[in-house]
Each structure stands twice: as C-alpha cells, then as structure tokens.
Amino acid sequence: MLSELKIQRGLALPLVAMNLTWFVKVAVTTAFLGRLGELQLAGGTLGFTFANVTGFSVLNGLCGAMEPICGQAFGAKNFRLLHKTLLMAIILLLLTTLPVSFLWLNVDKILIHFGQKEDISAVAKTYLFYLLPDLVVTSLLCPLKAYLSSQSITIPIMFSSALALALHIPINIFLAKAKGIEGVSMAIWISDLIAAILLVLYVVVKENRKGEKWNEGGWWDQRVEDLLRLLKLSGPCCLTTCLEWWCYEILVLLTGRLQNAKQAVGVIAIVLNFDYLLYSVMLSLATCASTRLSNELGANRPVAAYQSAYVSLAVSTISGCFGALIMVGARGVWAPLFSHEKGIITGVKRMMLLMAVIEVVNFPLAVCGGIVRGTARPWLAMYANLGGFYLLALPLGVVLAFKAALGLSGLLIGLLVGMATCLALLLVMVVRIKWHEEADKAHILASDGNLETVNKTRICRMQQLYRDAGEQWSCSYVHSEYSSKKQAKQGSKVLGFPTCPAKLTLH
C-alpha cells in the first residue's frame, strides 16, 4: 500500500501543478479583459464561458477515452496500440471542431435569442472568432497530455504548462495593447500552441532514442475495430464531463433568477472560483486513479489494480476533508479579494460552509469516475451523473430555492444531495467490480483481441491461485501474485476469481 501511495504521489503532484496553471491562466486572462473596460470584460467572460460549455468540455471529454485504451496498452507494453490511438484521437478531435466552430461563429445570434444584449453578444463573437485556432491546438494538446499521462509521464506536462503560463503574461501585455480584446483572445491559443510544440518535441526526441517506443510503429495501423472501440468509449467520456460542467452553468443561470439576483450571482461566482482551485486537485486524483488502474489491468495484475483503486479512494476521501477544512478556514479572506460589498462578503462566508460539505463528497466522486473510466466502463459514471445531477440535484435545488424560499442555499443543498447519490451509486459499482474479469477484458483490449493469449493467462492465474505454499508452478505467461494458498483463497473472495476445476492439469 505504501509503495502504491508513493507511485500515486509522484503521478498526481505534477498533474495538480499543471491543472493549477490553467486556473492561473484564466485569472490572468480575466484581469486583462477587465483592464480593457466593462463591456470587454462582460463580453469576453461570456464568450469564454460559451467556449468552455460548447467546445473545450467536449474536446476534453472525448479525449478521456484515451485513458483506458492507452493506459491498458502501456501496461501490456503494446506500444503500437498507444501510437495509433493517439493519432485516431487527434483526428477525432479535429473533426469535432467543425460543428463547434459553426456554433462559435453564430454565438451572437444564439446569445441574443436567449436574451443577452446585442453589444455584449457582439463582443463575445469577436472574442470567440479570434479564439477559433485554440480548437485546433487543443485537439493536439489534449491527446498529447493523455498519451503521456497514461504512461505515468507527467513531469514534461507540468513544465510545458508552466512555461506556457510564464509566456502567457508578456504575450497578453503586448497583444492586449496592440489589438485589444482580439489580442487577449489570441494570447490564449498562442500560449497553448507553445505547450503543444514542447510536448511534440519531447515525444519525438524521447521516443526516437535507441531502444525507445517510436520504432514499434503502429502510427498508421488503424482498423475499423480500433476506431469503433475509441468511439464507444469517447461518447460516454464526453457526456460524463459535459453533464458535470453543464450542471454548474445551469446552477449559475438559476442563481440569476433568484431574488436579489445580482448579489446571489456575485456570491456563487466567488465561491465557485475557490471550488475551481480544489477541482484542479480532484481532477488530478481522478486522472491518477484511471492511469494506475488501467496500467495494472493492462499488465494483467488484478491484485495491484484492486489496491490502486482503494488507495485512490482513501486519498480522495482524505483530500476532500482537507480541502473542506481549507475552504472553511479561507472563507473570511476569500471574498474581500473579489468584492468589498458587505452583503456579498457575508453571503460568501455562509455559502462556503455549505460548499465545504460538497467538497467532501466531490473528491471521492471524481476518483470513482476515474476508476470506472480506467476499467473502460465510463458509461457507469455517465448514468450516475445523469441521474444524480439532472434527475435529482437540479429539480430538488429548484424546489428548495424557489418553492421553499431557501434561495442559493437551496440550490447548493440540491447539488449536495445529487452528488451524494452519484457517489453512492458509483461506490456500489466499484465494490462490485470483479477484478480478474476486468484484467481479462483489459488484456483483450491491450492485445488487440488476441483471445488465445487471454485464455492462457486465465488458466495460469487459476493455477497460481491454488498452489501450495513452497511449491513452484511453471507458467511462462504470468508471474504469481500470491505467496500462499491462504492468500489465494482470500484473493478469490475479494477479486471474484472462479473456482479452479478439478480436471485442470497443473504443470
């Protein structure tokens, strides 16, 4: 367990740093928009929100399908599958940018249709027009990050993100002064392009070294089965991400319909800004859980996968409690950083207490999503999110906020109940996982469907489960994970191994 904890720490910390750079980048962009004027701030912020909801959430979600495929392929040392999955994911994301671009080019009409003012909508369209290249850059950057993180390579991702952030500030200073809001928008995709170029250089240089993975090939070895496998996983991964992102946006929209809406929207915006900081941590833990689990399943080590899953859950629970304590401790100093209005400061102090309870649930919920994604079953998280957020959280929040007159507290209580339900559903699913079966499925995935290899592996594992202490079984396919017959029987109960048939010939 301690060794697994050390592995996850080394994997998660760079991911946390990388995700935090995204938050800082958004804050820097918002600051430069604010310096241009109130109209530019409103239009640019609205445009960026629209971009997240309709574009970046979709691309990030689709890219989530790479985690189980690449993670399990790396565990099985199938580098050809790694290579062709990277290329297929880039092509899939590039194709997805076409309908997204159409939406962005018509954003002014969409916003006006939903009641936004024409001047703000026009600024939002200008902002998104100059942000269009970022769709192409993100279609390259996201798969590269997933490709490397699935191999537990996270340090280069962290350094490339940090360097891109460091250059983002001077680029903003120059372009904001020269081109106004167009320049602020351009600075985003330019800094993303820098990060993408750095990662491309890293992959090409490292994998072209003698004995590295480049010569394994597979880059253009795509089959229809490979594409269907990617599409089958990318849909649920995309919906899982989008359903959660959209729920928060709907929550903000509902807040705008409360009494004293101006103050309530200010309160929820400030509270969610702190939540975004913690979200960068929980997202890293979820990615770490998915990577570790898929690597171990691909390597045909169900015991190690089982341990990885429960270490991840334990870390997420502790992290959630710690994050809640930080939120409670910071509630007195956080609001004054954004506003000096007494009503907003008081509201933030009160809502951050409730939001702290939500974080205790949110952390393990995110990691449970990572676990089911690592087992290549992201639709479980999709159904849980659909039921918890949209069939329970939002309807209950509306009733409590408007019918019971609880206001913003009612919306957040509804969110808490919905998240707790999601967590309960996913925990049941995680506990019921049959780890040996998942290892077999992962081996099929990672070996491109070679059933003969999978069957040999299954027989060898059954031999090992029932060996006597001190006896040696000759098996060229899998190394033993148990040191005694007692451990084997315990493993069969926990992991769900089938009973070894009496007629099986052991050799």
pLDDT tens profile 28-84: 888 888 888 878 888 888 888 899 889 998 999 999 889 888 998 888 888 888 888
If one counts every other C-beta atom within 10 angstroms of the C-beta of residue 294, the result is 32
Name the percent of the chain in helix, strand, coil, to the closest 5: 80, 0, 20
- CA distances from residue 12 to 19, 285, 312, 415, 427 in whole angstroms, order as listed: 10, 6, 11, 27, 22
pLDDT score for 506: 35
Quick one: which of 62, 64, 70 has its CA closest to 445? 70
* Location of structure tokens 């970022």: 134
Contacts 24+ apart (CB under 8 A), 305-308: 305/435, 305/438, 305/439, 306/435, 306/494, 306/495, 307/1, 307/4, 308/4, 308/8
- Residue 168 CB partners (closer than 8 Å, separation 6+): 25, 28, 187, 188, 191
Cβ-contact 488, 482 below 8 angstroms:
yes
Nearest residue to 376 (alpha-carbon basis) of 88, 150, 58, 47: 150
What is the full per-residue pLDDT of the chain (507 aa) written as tens digits?
A: 778 888 888 888 999 999 888 888 888 888 888 888 878 888 888 888 899 889 998 999 999 889 888 998 888 888 888 888 999 999 999 999 999 999 999 999 998 887 778 888 899 999 999 999 999 999 999 999 999 999 989 999 999 999 999 999 999 999 988 888 999 999 999 999 999 999 999 998 888 775 556 566 666 776 777 788 888 889 999 999 889 888 988 888 888 888 887 788 888 888 888 888 898 899 999 999 999 999 998 888 888 999 999 999 999 999 999 999 999 999 889 888 877 888 888 998 999 999 999 999 999 999 999 999 988 888 999 999 999 999 999 999 999 999 998 999 999 999 999 999 999 999 999 999 888 888 887 877 676 554 454 555 555 555 545 444 444 444 444 444 444 444 444 444 444 444 343 333 333
The residue behind tokens 């392009």 is 193
Give the tokens for residue 403. Answer: 């019918």
d(CA 23, CA 279): 10
Residue 441 token pair:
């499925």
Helices (H) and strands (E) in the chain, counts: 20, 0
pLDDT in tens, 425-458: 999 999 998 888 888 878 776 765 544 545 555 5
What whole-number distance in Å separates Cα of residue 47 and Cα of residue 108?
9
Q: Name which of 165, 180, 212, 251 is nearest 35 in CA terms.
A: 180
Distance CA 437, CA 306 (A): 12
Q: Which of 306, 224, 257 is nearest to 492 (CA)?
A: 306
For residue 506, the 8-state DSSP code is P
Residue 17 burial (CB count, 10 A):
18
Round to whole Å and give the CA distance between 435 and 147: 24
Domain positions in the chain? 14-222, 259-449, 464-507
Nearest to 69 by CA among 289, 241, 287, 298: 298
- Centroid of chain to Cα 353: 25
Q: Give the whole-angstrom CA distance, residue 15 versus residue 367.
A: 14
Give the residue among 184, 199, 186, 154 at the shortest CA–CA distance from 27.
184
Q: In this structure, what is the dihedral angle of CA atoms 377, 66, 100, 128, given to the nearest 10 degrees?
A: 120
Calpha distance 57→246 (Å, rounded): 9
Name the 3-class secondary structure at 137: helix
Q: Locate 437 and state its tokens.
A: 């079966």
- Helix 485-495 vs helix 451-465: angle between axes, to the nearest 10 degrees? 130
